[in-house]
């Protein structure tokens, strides 16, 4: 078992080189962290001057997890962003985000993405292993988010053999691209179905059906931009 505030202080020190990426708005925002099994809580102020206090102090957003989950993250046995990722915001995951100040919703969403991308990634130089053991679950696949920041979404996806990425046929209001690295199958974009080609980029228009049917396990990089 670890002490929450000690871990957060270490993550703050680890993020020294990335401070300008953690909060991109004028002023500051309070983010509360709470361990649901030990009832520990702390609040970090992100902005021009970062600070930390024990307890919840007027947070605009609260991040909750267990002590066990926190230990896995700092020991690099779990990826925080993969644990938090979900197909729909209503899903419950090992790491959950509770937006408290609805008047600051755009700031809250951006700070959640930047914290998951950078702050909750331990180490002074941020790295990430693209390993299936660390992947989350979303859209019928096993993703590891790489960068979500200022309208950019970038992730590694593993689609198991026999599975369909985006089986529900959701459409997104932003342009996207799949960079196919390995595997075989079919890709469905709008009204066209194509054999999957390796080392190929497939561009997906806005508001368009896009699915990938994996015959063998597929690995790809997913990129979306101009995304809220």
Question: Over the chain, what is the mean pLDDT?
Answer: 94
Of 16, 2, 28, 46, whose CA–CA distance to 123 is shortest? 16
Looking at the structure, tell me whether residues 26 and 86 fall in a common domain.
yes
* Count of domains for the chain: 2
The pLDDT of residue 1: 81
The domain boundary, picked from 94, 119, 144, lies at: 119
Q: CB burial class (10 A; 0-12, 13-18, 19+) of residue 88?
A: exposed
pLDDT at 93: 83
What's the confidence (pLDDT) of residue 59? 97
Domain range holding 87? 4-119
Dihedral sign for Cα 126, 132, 134, 139, please.
positive
Residues 9 and 57 in one domain: yes
What is the pLDDT confidence band of residue 49, given thresholds at 50, 70 and 90?
Answer: confident
At residue 194, the 3 state secondary structure works out as: strand
| pLDDT tens sequence across 126-140 | 999 999 999 999 889
Host H or E run for residue 42: strand 41-47
Whether residues 33 and 94 fall in one domain: yes
Give the CATH number, domain containing residue 154: 2.60.120.10
Residue 202's pLDDT band (boundaries 50, 70, 90)? Answer: very high
Q: Are residues 113 and 137 part of one domain?
A: no
Residues 182 and 205 in one domain: yes
Task: Tell me, yes or no, whether 126 lies in a domain.
Answer: no
| Residue with the larger pLDDT of the pair 214 and 89 | 214
The Cα–Cα gap between 194 and 29 comes to 46
Stated pTM of the model? 0.90
Digit-coded pLDDT (tens) for 66-103 = 999 999 999 999 999 999 876 555 667 899 999 999 99
Domain of 24, CATH number, reads 3.30.1050.10
Domain-embedded: residue 86: yes
Alpha-carbon distance of 139 to 85, in angstroms, equals 10
CB 152 within 8 A of CB 225: yes
**62 and 169 part of one domain:** no
Give the residue-averaged pLDDT of 18-29.
Answer: 94
On whether residue 170 sits in a domain, the answer given is: yes
- DSSP notation for 96-133: EEEE--GGGHHHHHHHHHHIIIIITS-SSS------GG
DSSP state, residue 75: T
**218 and 162, same domain (yes or no):** yes
In this structure, are 115 and 142 located in the same domain?
no
Record the tokens describing residue 168, joined without a space: 């529900």
């Amino acid at each position: 078992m670890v002490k929450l505030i000690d871990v957060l202080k270490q993550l703050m020190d680890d993020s020294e080189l990335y401070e300008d990426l953690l909060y991109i708005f004028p002023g500051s925002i309070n983010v509360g962290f709470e361990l649901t099994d030990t009832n520990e809580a702390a609040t970090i102020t992100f902005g021009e001057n970062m600070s930390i206090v024990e307890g919840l102090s007027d947070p605009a957003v609260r991040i909750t997890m267990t002590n066990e989950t926190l230990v896995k993250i700092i020991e690099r046995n779990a990826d925080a962003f993969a644990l938090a990722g979900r197909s729909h915001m209503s899903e419950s995951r090992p790491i959950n985000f509770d937006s408290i100040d609805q008047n600051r919703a755009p700031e809250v969403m951006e700070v959640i993405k930047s914290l998951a991308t950078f702050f909750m990634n331990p180490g002074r130089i941020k790295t990430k292993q693209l390993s299936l053991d660390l992947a989350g679950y979303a859209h019928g696949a096993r993703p590891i988010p790489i960068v979500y920041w200022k309208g950019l979404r970038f992730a590694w996806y593993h689609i198991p053999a026999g599975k369909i990425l985006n089986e529900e046929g959701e459409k997104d209001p932003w342009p996207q691209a799949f960079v196919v690295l390995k595997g075989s199958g079919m890709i469905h974009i709008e009204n066209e179905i194509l054999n999957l080609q390796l080392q190929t980029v497939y561009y997906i228009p806005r508001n368009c059906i896009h699915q990938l049917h994996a015959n063998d396990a597929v690995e790809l990089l997913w990129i979306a931009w101009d995304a809220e």
